[in-house]
Structure 1
Amino acid sequence: MAVAPRVLVLPYPAQGHVIPMMELSHCLVEHGVKVTFVNTELNHGLILDAMATRDSELGGVAMVSIPDGLGSGDDRKDLARLTDSFSTVMPGELEKLVGRINADATGSERISWLIADVNMAWAFPVAKRLGLRAAGFCPSAAAMFATRIKIPEMIRDGVLDEGGWPRWRGTFQLAPAMPPIDTSEFSWNRAGDPRGQPIIFQLILRNNAATHLAETIVCNSIQDLEPGAFALFPGVLPVGPLSSDKPVGSFWAEDASCAAWLDAQPASSVVYVAFGSFAAYDAAQLVELAEGLLLTSRPFLWVVRPGSAGEELLERLRRRTAPRGRVVGWCPQRRVLAHPAVACFLTHCGWNSTMEAAANGVPLLCWPYFTDQFLNQMYICDVWRTGLKVPRPAGGGTVQLVGRDVVRDKVEELLGDAGTKARALALRDLARRAVGEDGSSRRNLKGFADLVKGSAS
């Protein structure tokens, strides 16, 4: 009889990467695989604090941590600085962690596999040195993975210069059935301060060079959702949309009162607003957004992430939007989007949010902030046609606000569009088929679990 192996799971150290890898981990546990999940020390502490526990096991997943090289007061939203630090420090720390675990373990308790985020592909050479088998996990759209892998061809064809910057301005499409994207919006050029772009771009090139060391790559997507991207990379296996009813490693405590508030709202009436774990807007924009939501005369649930607005402003927003609007710090988003009261989702277009909305048939109003969110917006608005873009102000000036009237008008336009809603429901049905009995994602996930388990036979 096969003995369950133990795998080490390593996400990129950001909330939007931790959650889908934790969902994958829970799925593997259900298939009989033992999982040890590696967070950075800071993120490990955030997750335990959010759960109000010091128990380092999460729904059957053992959690451990290693340092990322930054100090307690350093800004980890500066992606270039974070990247530079963890690229230097974490390979050695990961090697030491595996050594400590395996020195004290016997048999199946020893680490035999590493499953790493493809954005942390520097870990694959570490795995090979230690005699571990390796697999990659893509937490973004397959189109995002394809675009990054194809960088050398884009340089050769004159789309990019050697530093990753566009040589011309216009719309670029990597392959038929893939989303078109403005050449000014490639993810590595929209990751914060442009001065940090070389660090981000070099990490992507190093990741690309190490990807071949992974025996397989699984992706939180659906075959029929991205046929063009999966045709380019048929070896990448879609296993999405991933989901779990167990804790998924939230960095902030979830406001459990959201469910009761939603229960009190009419069906298909609520505008849900959330911009993920990174997006930041100034006070003037938050005020315009609040006023725009109030102008819709619809109930709304608005997530204002802890630390993204000062306490005084937050209290102003709460007072101004009550009683029709509810402002919370963090919420169980998957359950919110599944609630029948939710009519639409005003979103930053992170891939997790995009997939969760697709899985629940929720139309999207798109307000991307950085990295891959612009590509995801193109999928939503131009390929699947399940949402609308929030128009961005044109012209110069340092402050370009999206005005309250624009917010109101786009919400009303989206909710008045029966075709968009119908296409969103069609995506929901597609997602359900993928994870249903004999669905493509379900088969791929079982095959992946069987591959991992086969190592311990």
Structure 2
Amino acid sequence: MGIPHFLAIPFLSTSHINPLIQFSNILAKHGCKVTFLNTEFNHKRAKNAAASQADNIDDHESSKMIRFVTLPDGLDPEDDRSDNLRVLRSVKKTMPSLLAKLIEDVNALDFENRISCILATFNMSWILEVGHKLGIKCAALFPFSAAGFISVQFIPKLIQDGIIDSDGNPTKSQEIQIAPNMPMMNPKHFLWCNFGKDFFNYIVQEMKTMELLAEWWLCNSTYDLEPGALSVSPRFLPIGPLMETDNNNNNKSSSFWKEDTTCLEWLDQQQPQSVVYVSFGSLAVMESNQFKELALALDLIDKPFLWVVRPGNNDDKNNVFPNEFHGNKGKTVSWVSQKKILNHPSISCFISHCGWNSIIEGVCGGVPFLCWPFSIDQFLDKTYICDVWKVGMELDRDQNGFISKEEIRMKVEQLLGDEGIRERSSKLKEATRKNVGEGGQSSKNIEKFVNWAK
């Protein structure tokens, strides 16, 4: 019998690609083969980013255990890929027949080690249907919190209990607890809200397929972080924190932008726990007046700062620095290796959009958070940080939804002066990291998953 061979297929955003590549690296270390499928468009973006860093992605892909392959997403090169529903529909229309042929071709190249398991991220459950028809085992990786996943699973009950209507809209303003020991949730912040009825219907169907065909629900989490949510279903298998370092070359293929490495040298010159790190991930777009207010706030704060201002994504017109902005206490960069930054001893706190991957990286760096959620699961993640783990604070908006420079300055000072938060951050870091050490729960779960695949 051959070794386990996984076909790993993420949704098209970096928040899905990164954790799946990190998990693929772990599977490779366990002696498994991985064929990692990216779209042609995303593969080209990653290649260009790697080339601009004098790095050749094809060299990385020569790894004996991980092979990268591509398929078209069905869109034209100039099409707007920020419209998630359009991308999802195009991929679902274009890829299934091509995927079956690709699996056939991959198996023909290595008959002894044919694809034995399909591993897809949420939003790509049609892939599980292809695998099921071909008699291949299926599992799903959910790149959000387990609690976020549970909220989707409980949609029928939420409708039945009158919490949301049949289009996914909240029926009244209230906080609810979906299951015992889970954080309180505001229905207006469920991850499908503000994306319309069509998207809501899409994820309802997505969940039905996941429940029917995915034997395991893997998540980048731990029992220490989410004991209540992870106890809801025996199919949950926490495998986090996924903290493969960027020294592993395969990770380079997940970055769509050139990483600034000079900021690490700059951080080396700063005092311990002195630098305010600011980053809002790969998707969040800040309105231009709010961007200018943040810039002025960083001037006000009597601390050095490292601010990631992401290129592209049609938001360049919003990222206009005000004339009054000096920025002489800090450094502004376009993209970084965030894990390296958050583990640097100079970092004092993390002003974050609260995306789950960023949360895990911040927790593993032992860094206190200042929460600035934008959409989807980020409000729930903020609840974990501020109310459950108590390792951060939230930035308060005024009646117009605006966060003032005075509010930012005041909260940074409060956060950095709170020894209790820093102490809890340090303890949470140790507890979370233990899971992937020898004998840790996530390490055991990964062994269990690999044995199942065999």
With the shorter chain as reference, the TM-score category is over 0.9
* 1:5-48, Cα deviation, whole Å (9 max, x unpaired): 32110111101110000000000000001111111121111111
Deviation at 1:207, TM superposition (A): 1.4
**Matching residue's letter, 2:434:** R
**Separation in structure 1 between the aligned mates of residue 336 and residue 307 of structure 2, nearest angstrom:** 9
1:438 is aligned to 439
Q: How far apart are 1:312 and its partner, in Å?
A: 8.5
* 1:231-380 alignment, distance < 5 Å: 231-245=231-245, 246=248, 247-248=250-251, 249-307=254-312, 316=321, 320-380=325-385
Instruction: Compute the displacement of 1:54 (Å).
Output: 5.2
Q: Residue deviations 1:94-146, cap 9 Å, x none?
A: 223213322444211x3221111133112111101122111111111110111
- Paired with 1:310 and 1:93, the residues of 2 have a C-alpha distance of 34
**Take 1:333 and 1:54, find their aligned partners in 2: how far apart are those partners?**
20
What is the distance in 2 between the residues matched to 1:202 and 1:128? 22
Given candidates 156, 159, 166, the residue that maps to 1:162 is 166
> Aligned AA for 1:136?
A
State the match for 1:180 in structure 2: 184
The reply on whether 1:381 has 2:380 as its aligned counterpart is no
- Give the distance between the partners of 1:214 and 1:89, measured in 2 at CA: 22
For this pair of structures, how many residues does the alignment match?
Answer: 442
Kept in 2, the 8 Å contact 1:5–1:112? The answer is: yes
**What is the TM-score of this pair, normalised by structure 1?**
0.92
Secondary structure of 1:35's match?
strand
- The offset of 1:231, in angstroms, is 1.3
- Once residues 236 and 26 of structure 2 are traced to their aligned partners in structure 1, the CA distance between those partners, rounded to angstroms, is 18
Q: Secondary structure of 2:224's partner?
A: helix
Change (3 A) 1:266 1:166: same
Alignment correspondent of 1:55: 58
2-structure distance, mates of 1:314, 1:202: 34
Contact 2:19 2:242 in 1 (8 A): yes
In structure 1, the residue matched to 2:135 is 131
3-state SS of 2:231 partner: helix
Return the offset for 1:222: 0.4
Deviations 1:355-380 (A, max 9, x none): 11111111111111111111111111
Shift of 1:81: 2.0
Instruction: Name the amino acid aligned to 2:137.
Output: R
Describe the superposition over 1:388-427 as per-residue Cα deviations: whole angstroms up to 9, x where unpaired.
11112214xxxx5322111111111111111111111111
Shift, 1:176, TM fit: 2.5
The C-alpha deviation readout for 1:132-189, integer Å capped at 9, x for no partner, is: 1111111111101111111111111111111111111111211222111211111101
Matching residue of 1:194: none
Q: Cα 1:319–1:98, aligned 2, differ >3 Å: closer, same or farther?
A: farther
**Counterpart for residue 214 of structure 2:** 214
- State whether residues 291 and 319 of structure 2, in contact with CA within 8 Å, keep that contact through their aligned partners in structure 1: no
The answer as to whether partners of 2:299 and 2:327 remain within 8 angstroms in 1 is no
**Separation of aligned partners in 2, 1:43 and 1:159:** 38
Change in CA separation of 1:36 and 1:126 when aligned onto 2, cut-off 3 Å = same
Give the C-alpha shift of residue 289 in structure 1: 0.3
Contact 1:26 1:59 in 2 (8 A): no
Q: Say whether 1:121 aligns with 2:103.
A: no
How far is 1:290 from its partner? 0.9
The worse-fitting range, judged by mean Cα deviation, of 306-315 and 7-16 is: 306-315
Aligned pairs (5 A) from 1:10-49? 10-49=9-48
Question: Corresponding residue for 1:8?
Answer: 7
Q: Distance in 2 between matches of 1:302 and 1:317?
A: 15
Work out the CA distance in 2 between the residues paired with 1:310 and 1:120. Answer: 27
Change (3 A) 1:230 1:59: farther
Deviates more, 1:59-68 or 1:293-302: 59-68
> Deviations for 1:185-228, whole angstroms, at most 9, x for unmatched residues?
1110144xxxxx22221221111111121222211100121011
Superposed displacement of residue 87, structure 1:
2.7
Alpha-carbon shift at residue 347 of structure 1 (Å): 0.4
For the residue of structure 2 that corresponds to 1:266, the secondary structure is coil
For residue 99 of structure 1, the aligned residue among 85, 91, 104 is 104
TM-score in terms of structure 2 length: 0.93
SS where residue 102 of structure 2 aligns? Answer: helix
- Rounded to whole Å, the distance in 2 between the matches of 1:375 and 1:162 is 22
Any stretches of 5+ residues in structure 1 without a counterpart? 192-196
Contact residue 287 and residue 318 of structure 2 kept, 8 A = no
Aligned partners of 2:323, 2:339: CA distance in 1, in Å?
23
| Contact 1:318/1:326 (8 A) holds in 2 | no
> Which SS does the other structure have where 1:240 is aligned?
coil
Deviation for aligned residue 1:286: 1.3
How far off its partner does 1:313 sit?
Answer: 7.7
Aligned-residue sequence identity (percent) comes to 40
Q: Is the 8 A contact 2:295 2:321 kept in 1?
A: no
Match of 1:76 in 2: 81
CA distance in structure 2 between the aligned counterparts of 1:289 and 1:380, rounded to whole angstroms: 21
Higher RCO (C-alpha 8 Å, min separation 6): 1
RMSD between aligned alpha carbons?
A: 2.0
3-state DSSP of counterpart to 2:283: coil
Aligned-partner Cα distance in 2 for 1:84–1:217? 23
The code of the aligned residue for 2:293 comes to E
SS in 2 for 1:119: coil
Q: Distance in 2 between matches of 1:264 and 1:26?
A: 33
The 2-side partners of 1:151 and 1:314 are apart by 37
Give the corresponding residue for 2:204: 205
Task: For residue 314 of structure 1, report the CA deviation from its aligned partner.
Answer: 5.8
Unaligned runs of 5+ in 2: none
The separation in 1 between residues aligned to 2:427 and 2:68, in whole angstroms, is 37
SS where residue 442 of structure 1 aligns?
A: helix
Cα gap change, 1:86/1:309 in structure 2, threshold over 3 Å: closer, same or farther? closer
**CA displacement, residues 419-441 of structure 1 (integer Å, 9 cap, x when unaligned):** 11111111101112211221111
- Confirm or deny: 8 A CA contact 1:318 1:327 kept in the other structure: no
